[in-house]
Amino acid sequence: MNVLADTLSRPVVDNLDEASICEVCPVVIDWPHRTPEEVRCSQLEDPTIAKIIEDLERDGEPATQWTERGYYVVHGVLYKVDLYGDSEEPLLVVPEANLADLMKELHDAPTAGHLGLDRTVKKIRERYFFPNMRSYVAKYIKDCELCQRYKPTNLKPAGLLQTPIPQHRFEVLAMDLFGPLPETDKGEKWIFLVEDVASRWVEIFPMVNSTADACAQILIEEVFLRYGFPRRIISDNGTQFVSAVMQKALFVLDIKQNLTPVYHPEANPAERKNRDMKQMLAMLVGPEHRNWAEALPAVRFALNTACNQGTGQSAAYLTFAREFRSPLTNTTDLRPIIEQENYVPQVTPYLRNFAEHLKEMKLRVEGQQDARKVVADRNRRPAPIFEVGDLVLVESRILSVKSKGITHKFAPRREGPFTVGRVCSPVSYELLDSNGLVKGKYHSSFLTPYSGQAPVATAKKRGRPVNDSGSVLKSVAKSVSETPAIGLEGEVVAYPNAAQTSRPQRERRLPAKYLT
């Protein structure tokens, strides 16, 4: 039923309750309209189109050539017919100067919907014509900021698997925090895990507070002074690991720090041990979740004595050149029988055998990593190569907030653009915002090349107050000069004499100018 027409056809009724008439909803739409004279003037400003109009209006041989190609003039306006298409609808020839306005109407407008290349070109071809239409529309859509931020890429994740192989034991350590967990009777809520990347040896420490000072104290007293000082440490971007306290300690000890890319935990080898530890704790603790700290020694023993699939040996054997004795070993031990027969062990063959096992371990690790790389790279693509100064968009991680009326479904997929400040590895980059401040280190799978000019962005405040009151590092911090120093290859930066605050357990990132 045509409500509007039916209502207008009825006679006037006195004392009509207008509030009860809800079917009539007049809508006025003001579409921009250009007269033929205005269109002709804009066409004549284009030298190419003006030449075609001039030839067609003279009715000579040049006019015949243009007519054979589908051009003709109506009321002084140039049109073109697609001679090879199914439709004979005349298409308005658009001057180059008006292409941007046309794209805003047919791509950017709310009624256009920022559609893709094929549907936008099809919509334009229904009424308009201009040379190199598809390439122009493709470039326009590629440079559209909203399309870059909101639309999916429909591509495999970028960045092939990297497989570095450590050469020596306790040369590279990986660390991570696990928690918070139910508080034990001693007030412990966190687990600090440190793993040797080469031998897979694991140390596990329960912690009351996950502060930078506590982590640094455990590293120095329980790991470094027991197994030696490593050359490099791998960790995530937790505040405990990027704080001034931790970076001072690593700088003074000449230890290089590698931070994993943001939202890319698989780059930290300790994450795998966290998963194994979680499974073991869940089975040992049972319903009494507060007793998890009592099971940590047994879990550590199980992790270090189990044969690792990657190395082919247990962490205990690769660390101490022998397997640990277990309660079951005592019942089947032949050493008392051997000692009664005056058996003299041959040390040289034993050490030679251990050296052969180390070589086999390295070859096995290489083979395992190559096989793992083949499987992982099937679902990935080579990472785009960015250089310092390139503009990129970063995948956003916006969560829904019901109280603020925000849903992640309507949030942009990417934010930026940001500038590549440093190439950290073939698949990771350090990014800077518009003010030159460090945003973070990101894996290439989270980055998308930005096309177009960089808009001016407002700076976001970053950083937290510093807590530098730890006892274990007071003597270490005094040896650092007043001038901020840069560590090896720009990876480790010391920021001495950070300002103190009364707020505990709060750390801040270093200023960007000290990280470059």
Q: At what angle do helices 47-58 and 36-44 cross, to 10 degrees?
A: 110
Q: How many residues does the chain have?
A: 516
Pick the more confident residue, 457 or 67. Answer: 67
Pairwise CA distance, residues 51 & 505, whole Å: 75
- φ, ψ of residue 285 to 5 degrees: the values are -75, -45
Report angle CA 289, 270, 235 to the nearest 5 degrees: 115
Q: In which band, very low, low, confident or very high, does the pLDDT at 159 lie, cut at 50, 70 and 90?
A: low
In this predicted structure, what is the pLDDT of residue 494? 40
pLDDT digits (tens, 9 = 90+) for 73-115: 888 888 888 877 666 788 888 998 889 889 998 898 888 888 8
Residues whose CB falls within 8 Å of the CB of residue 239, separated by 6 or more in sequence, listed in order: 212, 464, 506, 507
> Where residue 24 falls among pLDDT bands split at 50, 70, 90?
very low
Per-residue pLDDT of 247-278, as tens digits, reads 888 888 888 888 888 877 777 888 888 888 88
pLDDT tens across 393-447, in order? 888 877 777 788 777 777 788 888 888 988 888 888 888 888 888 888 888 878 8
- pLDDT of the residue at 138: 92
Give the fold, CATH level 3, of 29-150: Endonuclease III; domain 1 (1.10.340)
What residue spans define the domains of the chain?
29-150, 172-375
pLDDT higher for 226 or 453?
226
90 prior amide bond cis, ω within 30: no
Q: How far apart are CA 386 and CA 468, in angstroms?
A: 37
| Topology (CATH level 3) of domain 172-375 | Nucleotidyltransferase; domain 5 (3.30.420)
Between 88 and 240, name the one with better pLDDT.
240
